[in-house]
Structure formats: structure tokens, C-alpha cells
């Protein structure tokens, strides 16, 4: 072999031994694909299975080009590894939850351990983890076989809960095992009702998801012929719902503003935790996703307010132009101005509707607040998922946000718990923030109320002058006409001023901020009481319980706020 070829081969071998690094976080939300399938597949079917898996990936990437794919697979023999190899060839991210410690797990496939490790070497180490065990006192009494079955069942529940779609290489036959592929398919299609061990509430809405079924007969089965793959959905109409959810994530991932946000992302992530740059890749990913949603929400909030202001300004101009033309200046220029204002208002409302400015603002704000909760829960070591903590009544309206939070939370479990940091940077910072916001929004609300009162007072004064000085004003037509204009326009101005305050939801925001300020103050006092009376509490468990309750309250309040403002769209004022 030539010397140059030897050097190239040595360099390639050395590169293969270097640890794979995680990609830099970019704040995008992935479509998460869980993988389950048979361990022993017919050798003749493998090329066709690879083709079907690649077709699924290609279909999703073509339809949602800005959205990455994250593949969840435990790298068992057969189907899991086939999908993993195709995913790596296509450049997709792998997340590898293992049911057991690697040395113990390898006992289930002694003949293919090297293949297992060859795939693991291509995955960043922080993306490979052993699924945390439940604190179950009965686990020690299980037989080795029953214990392994329980751990494989836990992997199935994890795949069903954390994925948007389950990719199942399966022969379609139901089995008695509660840890096999048929059980995982059932868990995904049935949702929470099929997972009693997942800690979900019995009245949670049915929240199952789709399964992409690649028909894969087991090795030795000569009776079946492989059928084309097909989608399985829990209910009729869920296909459209699934693609709607993916479109919303694609819209978020494809926001053109991302290119201009790079410099501000660091500041926004450090607002969560100052030393975020030194944290794990998973925490940096979650923080970057939060920062992206937060910055986008702020941008669309400014746009929403600008659109609302211009909408009401054009409405005021229309009313004033009509009054002037009718009472004071019957000039041709005024109808022309009226037409221009009307056309501008129509164009603005059409642009807002197509761009969905207000919808993006509300969605991204809800998404950011959900990821804030998820970040601090993770920092505190809580396994809870923010995606399952919205109110049942909010399931349909906030469904895509739940799925986006599911994508953001599909990460390895935290290596360590730091409830004190969550306490310091979440509770400490938010208490003062909400108190300040409640005060500033209350001042704005009172300002708008005074503006409305000013319009009403001016209208009342003009009307009184017309009544009291009617005879005198009959001889002063100039003043008479202007008073009539003011009398007619003042109530319209007052109504538009009130409409602006009402569409901004200022009163609702004041109440929400005040409630949140009170909640965070009480949380701070409770945390202080733990420090003052350590004998009364197990500090760690008390802090974790506090943070869990605080997160649920925050998600509930934020969801209610989003629904409230969605009922107040930007439209032409009526009346």
C-alpha cells in the first residue's frame, strides 16, 4: 500500500476514535421520531426496509425543510440499528435511551456487541444515557427476567411519550408482552390512557400520536410477504392535525428573523442562567430554544401593537374625515383621503391576517414561557414534562405548543439536580419582574382610561355648548360646525381609545402580573421558611415540590392568558 494511502487510512482511523461532538444549538425544534421494531428481521427484506425508512425521512425533510429530525432509539438488534444507521447516513441526530447499563444490556445481544459499539461511537456521548429508574420498592423483589421486562416497558413508554411519531418495523401481530413492539404501538396510539405507570391523571384527554408502520415480518416467517408502509392514526382527522402541528413548528424554525438574532441569543440565554455556556449540551439546547422563542415573541409583540395602533388610527381618520366632509369641508379631497385611508386599513388587515402577526406573538410567548418552566424544572432535577401540564381545556388550542414542548424536552435526563440555582434565578428574578410589570401596566391602563375620559368630556362639553348657546351659535356657522364635528367624533375617539386598551388586554395583564407577583412572593417566603426551620423540612424535596407547583401554576396562568387574548383578534372596530 502506498505511503500516502497508509497515512490517510491512519488519519481516518484516528478520527473515528475521537469523541463525536454535539452540534452547536440553534434554537430549532425537531420532529422527534421514536423507533421500535423486531430484533430478528428477514435478511432479504433489509434493503427494502432501509428504503422505506429513508423515504419517511425524505418525506418529512421535503415537507418541513427547516425542521430537523431527532431519532429516539435504544439500539437493540435488528430494526433499531437499521433505522439508526440510515439516520446517521442522512445526517440526523440520534438520542439513545438505554434500558439497562451498557454492560448489562449487551448480554441480550452477545453476537453483535461490536455493531452496537460502532454505532455508539458515532453518537455524542451526552446523547447516550440509561433511562432513570422509578423509585419503586417492589423492583428489588422482581426476578431478573421480570426486571428486564419492566425496563424494556419503561423504554416503550419513553418512546411513546417523547416522540411525535413512532416508526415501527413490525409484522402487525399483537403479542402478550407488554414490552414488545405491539405494546409500544398501542401506547403511542392510545396516549395517556395506555400508560398508567407514566404518572398521568386519569381524566387527561386522549393525546395519542401517529405510527408509521413499516411491515416487517420476523426472520423465519415465510408465510407473510412484506406490504407497503402505512400511517396509523388514533382517530379520523388526526393526519391533518399531525401535519398542522408540524407546519407550526416549521414556521417557528423557518422564521427569517433568526439570522439577525444571533448576537442577542447569548444575552437571552444568560437571562435564564448566567453560566449557561458552561452547562451541558442539552441545557444549552433548551436555553437556546427558549431564547429564540422569547426574542421572536418580543418582535411580534411590537408588530402586533403597531398593527393595532395603525388599525385604530385609520379607523379614527375614517370617522373624522366623514365628519369633516359632512359638516365642515365638502371638498373632493376628503373623499379621496377617505378612500386612501380605507384602502390602507384594508391592506394592513389583510397583511396582518396572512402573516398572522398576533397569532405568532401569542404562540411564541406561550412557547417561551413553557420552555422557561421546562428549563428550570430540568435544572432542579425534575423529570416532569411541561407538555403534559397544560389544562385539559387548553389541549386543542395549544396543541402545537404542547408538541413543541415535547420536542424541546426530548433530551437526556440531567446529570445533577440544582434546585438552589432554579430558586435563585427563577423565583428571585421573576418576583421582582412581575411586581414591576404589574405596576407599569396599571399605569398604562389608567393613562388610557384618562384618555377615554378626555374624549368623553370633550364631547359632553361640545354638546352642552350647542344646547346652551344654540341661538348664538346659529349666527356663528364656523364654530357651530366644529362643535358638531367634535360632538360626533368624541364618542368614537373614546370608543377607539378603550378598544386599544381592551385589545391589548391591559386589565387582564395587570391582574395576571399581580397574581404572579403574589405567587412568586409566597414561593420566596416558603423557601426562606425552609432555611429558617430546617428541621421541619427535607430541604431538597421541599424545594423540588415548590418548583413543581410553581411551574404548573405558571403554565396554567400563561395558557389562560393566551386563550384570553386569542379571543380579542385585531379586526376593524364595529359600530
Residue 557: all three cell numbers together: 396562568
The arithmetic mean of pLDDT across residues 302-309, rounded, is 91
Distance CA 343, CA 338 (A): 9
Q: What are the two backbone dihedrals, phi and then psi, of residue 185, each rounded to the nearest 5 degrees?
A: -60, -45
Are the beta carbons of 96 and 71 closer than 8 angstroms? Answer: no
Are the beta carbons of 218 and 40 closer than 8 angstroms? Answer: yes
Beta bridge partners of 37: 169
Top pLDDT among 474 and 356 is at: 356
Distance CA 512, CA 364 (A): 18
The arithmetic mean of pLDDT across residues 115-137, rounded, is 87
User: What per-residue confidence (pLDDT) applies to 12?
Assistant: 41
- pLDDT band at residue 84 using 50, 70 and 90 as cut-offs: very high
Distance CA 248, CA 145 (A): 43
- Using CB atoms within 10 Å of the CB of residue 478, give its burial: 0 to 12 exposed, 13 to 18 middle, 19+ buried: exposed
User: What per-residue confidence (pLDDT) applies to 574?
Assistant: 60
If we measure between CA atoms, which residue out of 406, 410, 411 comes closest to residue 208?
406
Per-residue pLDDT at 303 exceeds 90: yes
Residues 6+ apart with CB under 8 A from 476: none
Q: How far is CA 549 from the centre of its chain?
A: 20
User: What per-residue confidence (pLDDT) applies to 165?
Assistant: 96
Sequence length of the chain is 575
To the nearest 10°, report the CA torsion of 494, 497, 499, 504.
-160
pLDDT digits (tens, 9 = 90+) for 15-61: 444 556 667 788 899 999 999 999 999 999 999 999 999 999 999 99
Per-residue pLDDT at 467 exceeds 80: yes
Top pLDDT among 549 and 399 is at: 549
Q: What are the two backbone dihedrals, phi and then psi, of residue 293, each rounded to the nearest 5 degrees?
A: -65, -40
User: What per-residue confidence (pLDDT) applies to 535?
Assistant: 56
User: What per-residue confidence (pLDDT) applies to 555?
Assistant: 85
- Using CB atoms within 10 Å of the CB of residue 481, give its burial: 0 to 12 exposed, 13 to 18 middle, 19+ buried: middle
The arithmetic mean of pLDDT across residues 411-440, rounded, is 84
Per-residue pLDDT at 7 exceeds 60: no
pLDDT digits (tens, 9 = 90+) for 510-542: 888 888 888 888 888 888 887 776 655 577 788
Going by their DSSP bridges, the two strands 165-170 and 128-130 should be labelled as unpaired
Per-residue pLDDT at 4 exceeds 50: no
Residue 536: all three cell numbers together: 421541619
Residue 98: all three cell numbers together: 438505554
Sign of CA dihedral 234, 153, 378, 521: positive
Distance CA 242, CA 204 (A): 19
The arithmetic mean of pLDDT across residues 165-177, rounded, is 91
- pLDDT band at residue 9 using 50, 70 and 90 as cut-offs: very low
Lowest-pLDDT range of 17-21, 298-302, 322-326:
17-21
Residues 190, 196, 198, CA angle at the centre, nearest 5°? 95
Top pLDDT among 12 and 98 is at: 98
Distance CA 123, CA 536 (A): 46
- pLDDT band at residue 324 using 50, 70 and 90 as cut-offs: confident
The arithmetic mean of pLDDT across residues 279-297, rounded, is 92
User: What per-residue confidence (pLDDT) applies to 5?
Assistant: 41
Distance CA 73, CA 383 (A): 19
Residue 446: all three cell numbers together: 389608567
The arithmetic mean of pLDDT across residues 331-335, rounded, is 84
Distance CA 301, CA 505 (A): 13
- pLDDT band at residue 451 using 50, 70 and 90 as cut-offs: confident
If we measure between CA atoms, which residue out of 85, 72, 8, 13 comes closest to residue 46?
85
Lowest-pLDDT range of 430-439, 490-499, 566-575:
566-575
pLDDT digits (tens, 9 = 90+) for 199-231: 555 545 556 899 999 999 999 888 777 789 999
Distance CA 361, CA 149 (A): 46
Residue 154: all three cell numbers together: 419503561
Report the topology of domain 19-254: Rossmann fold (3.40.50)
Q: CATH 3.40.50 region(s) of the chain?
A: 19-254
User: What per-residue confidence (pLDDT) applies to 289?
Assistant: 93
Lowest-pLDDT range of 342-351, 442-451, 474-483, 498-507:
498-507
What is the pTM for the complete model shown? 0.85
Mean per-residue pLDDT over the chain, rounded: 84
The arithmetic mean of pLDDT across residues 267-274, rounded, is 89
User: What per-residue confidence (pLDDT) applies to 13?
Assistant: 44
Amino acid at each position: 500500500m502506498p505511503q500516502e494511502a497508509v497515512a490517510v487510512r491512519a488519519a481516518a482511523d484516528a478520527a473515528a476514535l475521537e469523541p463525536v461532538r454535539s452540534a452547536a444549538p440553534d434554537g430549532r425544534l425537531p420532529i422527534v421520531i421514536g423507533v421500535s421494531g423486531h430484533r430478528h428481521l428477514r435478511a432479504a427484506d433489509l434493503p427494502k426496509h432501509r428504503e422505506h425508512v429513508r423515504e419517511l425521512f425524505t418525506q418529512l425533510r421535503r415537507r418541513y425543510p427547516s425542521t430537523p429530525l431527532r431519532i429516539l432509539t435504544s439500539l437493540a438488534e435488528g430494526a433499531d440499528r437499521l433505522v439508526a444507521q440510515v439516520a446517521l447516513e442522512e445526517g440526523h441526530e440520534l438520542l439513545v435511551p438505554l434500558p439497562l447499563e451498557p454492560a448489562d444490556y449487551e448480554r441480550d445481544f452477545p453476537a453483535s456487541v461490536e455493531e452496537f459499539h460502532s454505532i455508539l461511537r458515532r453518537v455524542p456521548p451526552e446523547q447516550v444515557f440509561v433511562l432513570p429508574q422509578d423509585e419503586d420498592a417492589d423492583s428489588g423483589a422482581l426476578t431478573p427476567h421480570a426486571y428486564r421486562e419492566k425496563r424494556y416497558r419503561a423504554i416503550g413508554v419513553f418512546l411513546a411519550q417523547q416522540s411525535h411519531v413512532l416508526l415501527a418495523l413490525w409484522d402487525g401481530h399483537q403479542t402478550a408482552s407488554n414490552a414488545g413492539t405491539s405494546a409500544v404501538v398501542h401506547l403511542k396510539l392510545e396516549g395517556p390512557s395506555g400508560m398508567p405507570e407514566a404518572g398521568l391523571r386519569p381524566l387527561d384527554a386522549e393525546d395519542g400520536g401517529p405510527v408509521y408502520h413499516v411491515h416487517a415480518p420476523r426472520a423465519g416467517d415465510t408465510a407473510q410477504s412484506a406490504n407497503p408502509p402505512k400511517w396509523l392514526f388514533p382517530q379520523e382527522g388526526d393526519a391533518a392535525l399531525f401535519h398542522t402541528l408540524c407546519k407550526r413548528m416549521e414556521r417557528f424554525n423557518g422564521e427569517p428573523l433568526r439570522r439577525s438574532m444571533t448576537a442577542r441569543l447569548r444575552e437571552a440565554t444568560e437571562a435564564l442562567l448566567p453560566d449557561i455556556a458552561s452547562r451541558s449540551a442539552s441545557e444549552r439546547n433548551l436555553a437556546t430554544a427558549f431564547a429564540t422563542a422569547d426574542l421572536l415573541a418580543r418582535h411580534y409583540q411590537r408588530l402586533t401593537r403597531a398593527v393595532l395602533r395603525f388599525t385604530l388610527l385609520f379607523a379614527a381618520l375614517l370617522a373624522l374625515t366623514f365628519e369633516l366632509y359632512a359638516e365642515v369641508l365638502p371638498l373632493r379631497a376628503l373623499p379621496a383621503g377617505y378612500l386612501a385611508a380605507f384602502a390602507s386599513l384594508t391592506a394592513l388587515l389583510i397583511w396582518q391576517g396572512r402573516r398572522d402577526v398576533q397569532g405568532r406573538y401569542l404562540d411564541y410567548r406561550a412557547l417561551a414561557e413553557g420552555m422557561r418552566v421546562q428549563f428550570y424544572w430540568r435544572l432542579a432535577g425534575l423529570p416532569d414534562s411541561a407538555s403534559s401540564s397544560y389544562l385539559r381545556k387548553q389541549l386543542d388550542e395549544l396543541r402545537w405548543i404542547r408538541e413543541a414542548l415535547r420536542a424541546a424536552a426530548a433530551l437526556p435526563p440531567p446529570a445533577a439536580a440544582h434546585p438552589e440555582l432554579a430558586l435563585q434565578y427563577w423565583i428571585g428574578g421573576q418576583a421582582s419582574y412581575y411586581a414591576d410589570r404589574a405596576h407599569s401596566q396599571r399605569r398604562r391602563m389608567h393613562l388610557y382610561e384618562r384618555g377615554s375620559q378626555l374624549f368623553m368630556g370633550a364631547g359632553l362639553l361640545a354638546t352642552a355648548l350647542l344646547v346652551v348657546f344654540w341661538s348664538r351659535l346659529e349666527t356663528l356657522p364656523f364654530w357651530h360646525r366644529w362643535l358638531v364635528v367634535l360632538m360626533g367624533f368624541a364618542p368614537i375617539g373614546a370608543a377607539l381609545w378603550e378598544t386599544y386598551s381592551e385589545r391589548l388586554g391591559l386589565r387582564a395583564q395587570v391582574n395576571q402580573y399581580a397574581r404572579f407577583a403574589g405567587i412568586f412572593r409566597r414561593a420566596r417566603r416558603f423557601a426562606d421558611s425552609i432555611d429558617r426551620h430546617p428541621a421541619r423540612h427535607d430541604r431538597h424535596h421541599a424545594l423540588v415540590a415548590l418548583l413543581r407547583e410553581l411551574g404548573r401554576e405558571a403554565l396554567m396562568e400563561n395558557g389562560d392568558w393566551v386563550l384570553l387574548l386569542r379571543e380579542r383578534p385585531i379586526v376593524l372596530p364595529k359600530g
